[in-house]
Amino acid sequence: MKRKITLKQIAKELDVSISTVSKSLKDSPEISEDTKLKIQAFARMYNYKPNNIALSLKNRKTKTIGIIIPEIVHHFFATVISGIEQVANENGYNVIICLSDESFDKEVINMEMLANGSIDGFIMSLSKETQLKADYHHITEAINQGMPVVMFDRVTNDILCDKVIIDDKKAAYDAVQDLIDKGMKKIALVSTVDYVSVGKLRTDGYEKALLDNDIPFNKNLIIKVEDMDHCGEAIEKLLLDRAIDAVFAVNELFAVIAIKAAHKMGLNVPEDLSVVAFTDGIISQFSTPTITTVSQDGIKMGRKAAAMLIDRLQKEEAEEEHEEHEEHYRTEVIETHLIKRDSTK
What residues line the site for a second copy (CB under 8 A)?
1-4, 6, 8, 58-61, 63-64, 72-75, 78-79, 81-82, 85, 89, 92, 94-99, 101, 106, 109-110, 113-114, 118, 256, 260, 263, 282-283, 286-288, 317, 320
CA-based max dimension of the chain: 71
Nearest-approach distance from CB 310 to a second copy, in angstroms: 16
Determine the 3-state secondary structure of 51 from DSSP: coil
Nearest-approach distance from CB 18 to a second copy, in angstroms: 13
167-170-176 Cα angle (round to 5):
135
Nearest-approach distance from CB 267 to a second copy, in angstroms: 14
Strand order in the sheet with 292-294: 222-225, 187-192, 246-249, 274-278, 292-294, 338-339
Are 303 and 84 within 8 A, CB to CB?
A: yes
For residues 213 and 268, which CB has a smaller minimum distance to a second copy in the complex? 268
Nearest-approach distance from CB 92 to a second copy, in angstroms: 8
For residues 79 and 336, which CB has a smaller minimum distance to a second copy in the complex? 79
For residues 41 and 72, which CB has a smaller minimum distance to a second copy in the complex? 72
Are 97 and 71 within 8 A, CB to CB?
A: no
For residues 58 and 230, which CB has a smaller minimum distance to a second copy in the complex? 58
Q: How far apart are CA 194 and CA 188, in angstroms?
A: 16
For residues 201 and 262, which CB has a smaller minimum distance to a second copy in the complex? 262
Are 244 and 221 within 8 A, CB to CB?
A: yes
- For CA atoms 24, 25, 29, 32, give the dihedral sign: positive
Nearest-approach distance from CB 98 to a second copy, in angstroms: 6
Nearest-approach distance from CB 324 to a second copy, in angstroms: 16
For residues 2 and 219, which CB has a smaller minimum distance to a second copy in the complex? 2
Where would I find the H helices in the chain?
A: 7-14, 18-25, 33-45, 53-59, 75-90, 104-115, 128-133, 137-144, 168-181, 197-212, 231-240, 252-264, 282-286, 298-322
For residues 78 and 215, which CB has a smaller minimum distance to a second copy in the complex? 78
Nearest-approach distance from CB 287 to a second copy, in angstroms: 5
